[in-house]
Amino acid sequence: MTPRRKKTTYMIIGGLAGLGLAVGLVLYALKNNVSLYFTPTQVFNKEAPQGRSFRIGGLVETGSVKREGDGLTVHFNVSDTVKIMPVIYKGILPDLFKEGKGVVAQGKLEADNVFHAEEVLAKHDENYMPPEAKDALDKAAKAKAGAVSPVVPAPTSTGY
């Protein structure tokens, strides 16, 4: 390569490395602002904004969903397996809203220590499988949790 080409190459590589570092540091510093939601643990540690609307995310705790008489108001707990946050929401829930599944709710933490949600979004995972495979997996998980020696062998990850 001619000296001029070499110089341009180094300038591009150096420029990109510098820019990448700068962007990386900025994004690292703004970590909390870039993230869409706070986990219940972060809320517990007072990392979430106080007296202002924010989003909370985690799993809907199994057995925690309770509907009020009007059929619209619903209570549930959002858990990150360490801390739980009680949530109250009045409105229509998305189809994928289920116990044990991911959820992101926007709202405010009120003085009663209950998160008053204005919007609830369902978060699904990156695993796709036919219903039969899901049943097999669920059965296997149940067997593993219940019996000492599982009746159904744990499925391997290949193919799914």
Partner 1 sequence: MAINWFKYSAPTAFYGLAGKLVPWFAWSSAILFAIGLYISFFVAPTDATQSEAYRIMFIHVPTSILSMFIYLVMAFYAAVGLVFNTRLSSMMATALAPTGALFAFISLWTGAMWGKPMWGAWWVWDARLTSELILLFLYFGFIALHASIDDPRRADRAAALLAIVGSVNVPIIYFSVKWWNTLHQGSTIKFSGTSMHIAMQQALFTMLLACWTYSVAISLLRVRSIVLERERNTQWVAELEEVRS
Q: Which residues bind partner 1 (CB under 8 A)?
A: 5, 8-9, 12, 15-16, 19-20, 23, 27, 31, 34-39, 57, 93-96, 101, 104, 119-131, 133-134, 157, 159-160
Q: What contacts 94, CB < 8 A, 6 or more positions away?
A: 120, 121, 122
Closest to partner 1 by CB, 112 vs 125, is 125
* Six-digit token string for 91: 């409105």
Distance CA 90, CA 154 (A): 40
Closest to partner 1 by CB, 70 vs 132, is 132
* Six-digit token string for 123: 């978060």
Distance CA 83, CA 138 (A): 25
In order of 76, 142, 158, the CA distances from 55 in angstroms are 15, 32, 36
* Smallest distance from partner 1 to CB 112, Å: 25
Closest to partner 1 by CB, 133 vs 143, is 133
Closest to partner 1 by CB, 82 vs 147, is 82
* Smallest distance from partner 1 to CB 25, Å: 12
* Six-digit token string for 144: 């593993």
* Smallest distance from partner 1 to CB 19, Å: 6
Tokens 């904004």 locate to: 49
